[in-house]
């Protein structure tokens, strides 16, 4: 058996989908106003003074804290139909289809939230392992449930879901430092292959 792991943002897509989902839900003006408000935190993150999970939670709380989970989910479904197709790299989709044609098991492993990655994966018959957002009283809190699915956590999620010794060949595709631990699992490694 063969398995192929794909990062999502920057590997399958042309850009980070977090900001795209914010723009889709809140509009361009509100997104830029939020960026101005969050600028001190964004700068601290860029200078590596703020961990990625903390930064992401601040952004999610600012834009989506207290949003009804059902409204968010419905918006994410619409985003996957209306907006996401224009962000998908054709070469990445071709590589996925090629693996599927060969009977390989294809998995997207993403730091983005499963709310807006999983609907696309379902349509493409791909398994989705992604960051989970916390919901309390049917509303988003802005917090991440558990750990952001990036870096070593990508490997943890993969090992939770699969016994890798059952696969004689492993492919992995990624584009950032956060993908390196996942890439280290594979015999066939592709770093930034679709640019």
Q: How many residues does the chain have?
A: 195
Tens-digit pLDDT profile for residues 40-83: 999 999 998 999 999 999 999 999 999 999 999 999 999 999 99
Query: What does the alpha-carbon distance between residue 124 and residue 169 come to, in Å, rounded to a whole number?
Result: 22
Per-residue pLDDT of the chain (195 residues; tens, 9 = 90+): 999 999 999 999 999 999 999 999 999 999 999 999 999 999 999 998 999 999 999 999 999 999 999 999 999 999 999 999 999 999 999 999 999 999 999 999 999 999 999 999 999 999 999 999 999 999 999 999 999 999 999 999 999 999 999 999 999 999 999 999 999 999 999 999 998
In 36-161, which ranges are E strands? 105-113, 127-136, 139-145
Query: What does the alpha-carbon distance between residue 156 and residue 144 come to, in Å, rounded to a whole number?
Result: 16
pTM > 0.75: yes
Q: Is the dihedral of CA 129, 135, 138, 141 positive or negative?
A: negative
Q: Is the dihedral of CA 51, 54, 58, 60 positive or negative?
A: positive
- Give all domains of the chain, ordered by start, each with its CATH number: 2-191 (3.40.50.1000)
């Amino acid at each position: 058996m063969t398995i192929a792991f794909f990062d999502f943002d920057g590997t399958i897509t042309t850009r980070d989908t977090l900001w795209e989902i914010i723009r889709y839900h809140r509009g361009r003006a509100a997104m830029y106003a939020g960026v101005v408000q969050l600028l001190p935190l964004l700068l601290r993150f860029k200078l590596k003074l703020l961990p990625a999970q903390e930064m992401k939670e601040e952004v999610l709380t600012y834009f989506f804290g207290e949003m009804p989970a059902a409204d968010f989910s419905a918006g994410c479904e619409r985003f996957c139909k209306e907006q996401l197709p224009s962000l998908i790299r054709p070469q990445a989709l071709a590589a996925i289809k090629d693996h599927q044609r060969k009977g390989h098991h294809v998995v997207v492993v993403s730091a983005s939230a499963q709310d807006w990655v999983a609907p696309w994966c379902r349509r493409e018959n791909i398994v989705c392992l992604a960051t989970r957002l916390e919901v309390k009283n049917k509303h988003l809190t802005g917090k991440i449930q558990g750990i952001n699915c990036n870096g070593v956590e990508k490997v943890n999620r993969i090992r939770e879901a699969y016994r890798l010794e059952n696969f004689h060949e492993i492919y992995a595709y990624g584009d950032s430092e956060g993908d390196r631990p996942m890439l280290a699992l594979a015999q066939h490694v592709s770093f930034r292959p679709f640019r």
